[in-house]
Amino acid sequence: MTKHLTPVYRRDFSKRLRTLGFEGPYAGGHHEFMLRGNRRLILPNPHRSVIGANLLIRLSRQAGVSLDEWFSVK
């Protein structure tokens, strides 16, 4: 069975990242960001509450989170 990424609410995205070891979100410039070690992930603006699958793929690559890790967290 192949798992597919589906859109996720921004709040759920942040919760899942915290479960994966990120801290935050912290306020910064124009965008909030989260930290894990020396990696800084800039979050999209909260004006749209849903993060689409394409943006989710790009953000997970920037965060250094594999799809297996992403699906292992609920």
Which domains does the chain possess? 8-72 (3.30.920.30)
CB neighbours of residue 53 within 10 Å: 11
Find the farthest-apart pair of alpha carbons in the chain and give their distance in angstroms, rounded: 42
Confidence (pTM): 0.85
From first to last of the 74 residues of the chain, give the pLDDT tens digit. 467 888 999 899 999 999 999 999 999 888 899 999 999 999 988 777 899 999 999 999 999 999 889 888 87
The pLDDT score that the predictor gives to residue 28 is 80
CB 31 within 8 A of CB 43: yes
Look at residues 45, 44, 23 and name the one whose alpha carbon lies nearest to residue 34. Answer: 23
DSSP character for 50? E
